[in-house]
């Protein structure tokens, strides 16, 4: 397993510095939560690591520098991400969605062979995301949470080794959140996971380590308890009600 090592990561938009000299170490197999108020630079950080915006500094996955590479190259290196809004192909089946994702790294011959049945890696991903029973259903008919899981499944069949998930539980029911929390823990047994999340309740239950971004900079880092006890975090992010809970 490899980890993510970020040094001095900086992203500017027309002079506005959205990510400002961020250092971040996510060790192999970590399940890191990245939190911070709206506009803190969380999504931009992930965009920079995945090649969607230009950045300076360094972002290494294992030994490999990611900055300066094309988006598809970074994906091939095993870095996968999801977006704040789900991006599954609604008019295709669950299986077809996974097939397409898996196919991106495969030969034409491999794709032909796979017509004979559900390939092992796809079957495993279906099992992991709990959609084995839905493989022939159109993705558009899935519940909101299931679409998010399908998207994560697409990263699994691409064999992403670093998953960067942008607010995966937004809009989910309590049950869906819990299932997602379990899913993330299971995935982090074999892969490195970074989750952008706003929901403090979800964070308390499932985060291993937390990094707080504020105005493009790392404000605080540690366990959930450490971050919640940090006065600066309470001031900029958690607000009064949560800070009282955090201190309790």
Ligand X SMILES: Nc1ncnc2c1ncn2[C@@H]1O[C@H](COP(=O)(O)OP(=O)(O)OP(=O)(O)O)[C@@H](O)[C@H]1O
Query: Rule CB under 6 A: which residues touch ligand X?
Result: 13, 16, 18, 36, 38-44
Cα 244 versus chain centre, distance: 29
Query: Minimum Å distance from CB 84 to ligand X?
Result: 6
Of 52 and 229, nearer to Mg ion (C-beta) is 52
Among residues 43, 82, 148, 234, which is the contact residue for Mg ion, using CB under 5 A? 43
What is the spatial distance between Cα 35 and Cα 199, in angstroms, rounded to a whole number? 9
Of 26 and 156, nearer to ligand X (C-beta) is 26
Does residue 30 contact residue 3 with C-beta atoms inside 8 Å?
A: yes
Of 42 and 81, nearer to Mg ion (C-beta) is 42
Of 43 and 50, nearer to Mg ion (C-beta) is 43
Binding-residue total with Mg ion (CB under 5 A): 2
102 binds, among ligand X, Mg ion, none (CB under 5 to 8 A by kind): none
Query: Minimum Å distance from CB 46 to ligand X?
Result: 8
Nearest in space to 46 (alpha carbons), one of 73, 14, 16, 11: 11
What is the spatial distance between Cα 184 and Cα 18, in angstroms, rounded to a whole number? 28
What is the spatial distance between Cα 191 and Cα 81, in angstroms, rounded to a whole number? 13
Considering all CA atoms of the chain, what is the largest pairwise distance in Å, rounded to the nearest integer? 59
Query: Minimum Å distance from CB 35 to ligand X?
Result: 9
């Amino acid at each position: 397993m490899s980890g993510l090592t970020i040094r001095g990561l900086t992203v500017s938009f027309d002079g506005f510095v959205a990510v400002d000299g961020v250092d971040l170490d996510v060790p192999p197999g970590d399940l890191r939560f990245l939190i911070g108020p709206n506009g803190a630079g969380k999504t931009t950080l992930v965009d920079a690591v995945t090649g969607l915006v230009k950045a300076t500094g360094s972002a290494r996955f294992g030994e490999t520098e990611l900055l300066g590479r094309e988006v598809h190259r970074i994906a091939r290196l095993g870095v996968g991400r999801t977006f704040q809004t789900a991006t599954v192909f609604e008019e295709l089946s669950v299986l077809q969605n996974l097939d397409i994702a898996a196919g991106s790294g495969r030969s034409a011959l491999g794709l032909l062979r796979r017509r004979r049945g559900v390939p092992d890696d796809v079957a495993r991903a279906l099992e992991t995301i709990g959609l084995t029973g839905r493989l022939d259903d159109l993705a558009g008919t899935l519940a909101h949470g299931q679409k998010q899981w399908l998207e994560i499944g697409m990263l699994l069949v691409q064999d992403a080794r670093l998953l960067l998930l942008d607010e995966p539980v937004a809009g989910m029911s309590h049950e869906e959140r819990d299932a997602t929390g379990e899913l993330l823990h299971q995935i982090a047994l074999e892969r490195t996971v970074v989750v952008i999340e706003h929901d403090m309740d979800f964070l308390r239950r499932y985060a291993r380590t937390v990094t707080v971004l504020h105005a493009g900079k790392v404000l605080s880092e540690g366990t959930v308890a450490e971050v919640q006890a940090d006065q600066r975090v309470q001031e900029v992010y958690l607000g009064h009600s949560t800070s009282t809970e955090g201190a309790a």
